[in-house]
A and B are shown apart, each in its own frame.
Chain A
Amino acid sequence: MQSLRRFVSRTVWSLCLAIPLVGMALAQERGGTLTVALNYDLDTLDPYASGFLTDVQATFLAGLVAPDHDAQYVPVLAEEVPTLDNGGIALNEDGSKMTVTYHLRPGLKWADGEPVTAADVVFTWEAVKDPSYLGPEKDGTAEIERIETPDDLTVVIYYDGVYSGFKASLFTYGVLPKHALEGKDLNNDPYWDAPFGAGPFMVTEFSRGQHVVVERNPYYFETDANGVQLPYLDRIIFKIIPDSNTQTTQLRSGEVGFAYNVPYTSLATLRNTPNLEIISAKTLAFRHVTFNLRNEQLADLAVRQAFAHAIDRTALNRALGDYMLPIDTFVVSTFAFSSDDVPTYAYDPELGRQLLLDAGYTPGRDGIMEKGGKRLSFDFMTQAGRAEYETAQQVLIAQLKAIGIELKPDNKAGAALSEARRNGGFDVWYSGWITPADPIDSYVSFYATGGFNNGGAYSNPDADAALYAAAGSLDPDEVTAAMHEAQRIVLTDLPSIPLFETPSIVVTTSKLQGFVSNPTNQTNFRQVAPWWLAK
């Protein structure tokens, strides 16, 4: 694990994934309480209903499989990750449908000592799919035709098609205990006040707006190399601290021993505090500027190219704290199919201006380019109240002004933002995406014609073909080829400019050992069992 003490230095520094401590001379110690700062106000412990990432949920619920620190799926409750090679995935004769078979580990128990069986998996599917259950995260339920359980440890899932992303949702978030929830109203059963699952911990206290306490699950299945039962930690306290100043103060005073997504504004203070480690952890998140192609002027490729050449990623990064990683494509570097072979748009404001002049625009009296009496002036949306986004927005406004494009901030939050984002209530939009470990379905939703998250109305049949080919294939080589093609087309059409891959800044107490960051939306806590505290 590397501490980055010269964090805000203006030099370019390399980012290191935290390296597992396996094999190091330190002996793990069991016991202790870790206090974690949650920077949002946790709404519910139901992972299928929460509007946030599932940090706390990952400590007490376990799925069949989960993505690890390289975004590669590893088995959890299942004995192995099903693939075509190991026979876990089977196709029907014409290759139009697939069957996925999981074998549960023998002897698994819930945190209350009851056995985990195949019936629990079936129950989870039925419960989440049920229309009267209002949790919105039903992804992955509709494609399943039926589930068979030949014995207590075998689950055979029949899909109505072929889905490469089948691992991404339902059975990764977690399997729910049937015996605790059957016949109950999953929407608001008291189970969610102190839920348990087959994960390394179980919730013992949820004090709304204040904290969640999780304690060791005595029946957790995982052991370390020496046969010691995991987790090492006795207890984790998640303190709800939405205010970043308070978070900083509590990190410094030792009241909090773990915080992530720490704003860079806090770093200047934190890096001078002894006994804290600052880690830059890769994530699957990236920042982008997206255009609404319904806008006549933005439908002009030359305008979008000029726009891209006007952006100085280096200066922008500096304003954002110099910890972002500039990227040229929308596939982050963690994924093997991230392509180098895409058109790039170097910072070159002169070229940007020239592109606009060539396209028939002339500078108006106020310096803003215009054609036919219409100025290049756009509503520029980002999430209101989010400091990093608003900072980026203001730098971009200044950069684009330099080539004669006017951007007027039109920031929205919460409901209004989502509405505008989906339905194209913006001209230009700065934001971030974080994809699941199986990201192809997300790319489809961003860039395919009519995609759920395609608010800019981008549409190119070639891009659609490549994206759907990637989504429908189970062969890694085919996926890579199709994704390279999709990246080339999208970066040529430029409906959106990928800007940065966004690491998460994690600050921990120096006592914390065994922490490995997880870049996926399954959060760092998906691999919490081997964390331990040195005395």
Chain B
Amino acid sequence: MTDPSAAMQDPRTLLGEAFKRFRRHRLAVVSLALLVVFSLAAVLAPYLTPYTFDGQDVALLGMPTPPSLAHPMGTDHLGRDNATRVLYGARVSLLVGLLSALIATLVGTIVGALAGFYGGATDNVLMRATDVVLSIPLLPLVIVLSGFLRPNLYLLVLIIGVLGWMGTARLVRSQFLSLRGRDFVEASRALGGSGIRIMFLHMLPNALGPILVSTTLSVGGAILLESALSFFGFGVQPPTPTWGNLLNSSRDWLDIAPWIATFPGLFILVTVLAVNFLGDGLRDAFDPRM
């Protein structure tokens, strides 16, 4: 990653090589395909199921029913189709994962870039702030915030995102520190380029690989965090289904209707697994040393 010749290469060639390496990571390719399918299914949910996520079958009120042809994952105690709810749950879970990872990356990149580029007092202040946030145990803090604020979907995204930027900030900072002394940065400085311009036009593209990897991995973390919060009842509120709150409401029926709990959990596991494999593939692609 610190190979001096890398910075000299045309980014497009770099990208091409990375893509070649990525294709060799079979699990990552399969994962990417799976995630694309999940996302498409989530987006197209209304066209894929004859039921609505809150549609109640009055005849089935009161007791969950086991999987059948009409309801492949059964129905819940309100006569709602579980498969439909898992499908709609994918919308929220994937959206939260993606958006909060993007927010975390955005904040982290800005903080890291400023710290790494300017150094000195700026670096000191920003990195101490990073230390402070890093030193608070994440899960309890998120539980406190979402438990007290009872967030809607977007506030929840913001909370998860805003508490997840520290890793990216440290990463980007170290990238920028190592790039700072390079010839092309010195050159654009000598030519009178503004700080912002140099940072985002010249330095950032060189750090994109690692940033992409860390963003991908934080998507998985965010999905897990959202589902944990919703599982505790501190996240997204019913009847909007998410994989986490589907699991939460399945607890009461665990004894007599275990299938209600099985599917959402399985989907969380498979999705996060795919995201992590994808991240692994991207890391191999951008950083062949690992």
Q: Please give the residue numbers on chain A whose beta carbons come within 8 Å of chain B beta carbons, in ascending order.
A: 8, 10, 243-245, 248-249, 263, 265-266, 268-269, 315, 318-319, 321-322, 384-385, 387, 390-391, 394-395, 397-398, 409, 411-413, 415-416
Q: Interface with A: B55-63, B184-192, B209-217, which one?
A: B55-63
Instruction: Known A394-B239, A395-B78, A411-B237; judge A322-B62 contact (CB<8 A).
Output: yes
Instruction: Known A385-B233, A413-B233, A416-B150; judge A318-B239 contact (CB<8 A).
Output: no
Q: State whether B238 touches A265 (Cβ < 8 A).
A: no
State the Cβ distance, B229 to closest chain A Cβ, in Å: 12
> In the complex, which of the residues B54, B237, B251 has the most CB atoms of chain A within 10 Å of its own CB atom?
B237
Q: State whether A248 touches B237 (Cβ < 8 A).
A: no
Residues of B within 8 A of A269 (CB): 255-256
State the Cβ distance, B261 to closest chain A Cβ, in Å: 11
Residues of B within 8 A of A385 (CB): 233
Q: State whether B54 touches A391 (Cβ < 8 A).
A: no
Give 18 CB contacts A-B under 8 Å: A245-B254, A249-B255, A266-B252, A268-B63, A269-B255, A318-B61, A318-B62, A319-B78, A321-B62, A387-B252, A390-B249, A394-B54, A409-B238, A409-B239, A411-B150, A411-B238, A413-B147, A413-B233
15 new A-B contacts at CB < 8 Å, known A243-B251, A244-B251, A387-B252: A8-B62, A8-B63, A248-B255, A249-B255, A265-B252, A265-B253, A318-B61, A319-B62, A390-B238, A394-B54, A394-B56, A394-B238, A413-B147, A413-B150, A413-B233
Instruction: Decide if B77 is an interface residue (CB 8 Å cutoff).
Output: yes
Residues of B within 8 A of A245 (CB): 251-252, 254-255
Q: State whether A394 touches B255 (Cβ < 8 A).
A: no
State the Cβ distance, B57 to closest chain A Cβ, in Å: 11
Q: State whether B233 touches A384 (Cβ < 8 A).
A: yes
Cα A304 to Cα B183 with chains together (Å): 75
Cα A8 to Cα B249 with chains together (Å): 20
Q: Give the residue name and chain of the B residue nearest to A270 (CB).
A: B255
Instruction: Decide if B148 is an interface residue (CB 8 Å cutoff).
Output: yes
Cα A377 to Cα B121 with chains together (Å): 53
Q: Please give the residue numbers on chain B whose beta carbons come within 8 Å of chain A beta carbons, in ascending order.
A: 54-56, 58, 61-63, 77-78, 147-148, 150, 233, 237-239, 249, 251-256
Q: State whether B78 touches A394 (Cβ < 8 A).
A: yes
State the Cβ distance, A377 to closest chain B Cβ, in Å: 15
State the Cβ distance, B62 to closest chain A Cβ, in Å: 5
Closest 7 CB pairs of A and B: A385-B233, A265-B252, A319-B61, A318-B62, A318-B61, A269-B255, A411-B237
Cα A413 to Cα B253 with chains together (Å): 22
Cα A249 to Cα B251 with chains together (Å): 13
Q: State whether A263 touches B252 (Cβ < 8 A).
A: yes
Residues of B within 8 A of A244 (CB): 251-252
Pick the contact of B61: A248, A265, A268, A395 (CB < 8 A).
A395
Residues of B within 8 A of A411 (CB): 150, 237-238
Cα A124 to Cα B150 with chains together (Å): 40
State the Cβ distance, A366 to closest chain B Cβ, in Å: 13
Residues of B within 8 A of A412 (CB): 150
Residues of B within 8 A of A319 (CB): 61-62, 77-78
Residues of A within 8 A of B78 (CB): 319, 391, 394-395
Residues of B within 8 A of A8 (CB): 62-63
Residues of A within 8 A of B56 (CB): 394-395, 398
Residues of A within 8 A of B252 (CB): 244-245, 263, 265-266, 387
Cα A394 to Cα B77 with chains together (Å): 11
Cα A322 to Cα B63 with chains together (Å): 11
State the Cβ distance, A3 to closest chain B Cβ, in Å: 20
Cα A409 to Cα B152 with chains together (Å): 11
Cα A411 to Cα B239 with chains together (Å): 11
Residues of B within 8 A of A409 (CB): 237-239
Residues of A within 8 A of B54 (CB): 394, 397-398
State the Cβ distance, B26 to closest chain A Cβ, in Å: 41
State the Cβ distance, B184 to closest chain A Cβ, in Å: 54
Q: Give the residue name and chain of the B residue nearest to A321 (CB).
A: B62
Residues of B within 8 A of A322 (CB): 62
State the Cβ distance, A441 to closest chain B Cβ, in Å: 31
Pick the contact of B249: A248, A266, A387 (CB < 8 A).
A387
Instruction: Known A269-B256, A315-B58, A394-B54; judge A416-B148 contact (CB<8 A).
Output: yes
State the Cβ distance, A314 to closest chain B Cβ, in Å: 10
Cα A322 to Cα B287 with chains together (Å): 61
Q: State whether B150 touches A384 (Cβ < 8 A).
A: yes
Q: State whether A315 touches B233 (Cβ < 8 A).
A: no
Cα A266 to Cα B238 with chains together (Å): 21
Q: State whether B237 touches A384 (Cβ < 8 A).
A: yes
Residues of B within 8 A of A395 (CB): 56, 61, 78
Residues of A within 8 A of B58 (CB): 315
State the Cβ distance, A497 to closest chain B Cβ, in Å: 20
Residues of A within 8 A of B62 (CB): 8, 10, 318-319, 321-322
State the Cβ distance, B269 to closest chain A Cβ, in Å: 21
Q: Give the residue name and chain of the B residue nearest to A320 (CB).
A: B62
Cα A529 to Cα B233 with chains together (Å): 39
State the Cβ distance, B8 to closest chain A Cβ, in Å: 57
Residues of B within 8 A of A394 (CB): 54, 56, 78, 238-239
Q: State whether B255 touches A266 (Cβ < 8 A).
A: yes
State the Cβ distance, A10 to closest chain B Cβ, in Å: 8
Residues of A within 8 A of B238 (CB): 390, 394, 409, 411
State the Cβ distance, B250 to closest chain A Cβ, in Å: 11
Cα A265 to Cα B255 with chains together (Å): 9
Cα A412 to Cα B255 with chains together (Å): 28
Residues of B within 8 A of A391 (CB): 77-78
Q: Give the residue name and chain of the A residue nearest to B251 (CB).
A: A245
Residues of A within 8 A of B55 (CB): 398
Cα A244 to Cα B254 with chains together (Å): 10
Q: Give the residue name and chain of the B residue nearest to A414 (CB).
A: B147
Pick the contact of A265: B77, B148, B239 (CB < 8 A).
B77
Q: Give the residue name and chain of the B residue nearest to A312 (CB).
A: B58
State the Cβ distance, B228 to closest chain A Cβ, in Å: 15
State the Cβ distance, A69 to closest chain B Cβ, in Å: 30
Cα A249 to Cα B61 with chains together (Å): 25
Residues of A within 8 A of B254 (CB): 245
Residues of A within 8 A of B256 (CB): 265, 268-269
> In the complex, which of the residues B148, B238, B253, B254 has the most CB atoms of chain A within 10 Å of its own CB atom?
B238
Pick the contact of B239: A10, A248, A397, A413 (CB < 8 A).
A397
State the Cβ distance, A23 to closest chain B Cβ, in Å: 39
State the Cβ distance, A252 to closest chain B Cβ, in Å: 9
Cα A416 to Cα B150 with chains together (Å): 9
Q: Give the residue name and chain of the A residue nearest to B152 (CB).
A: A410
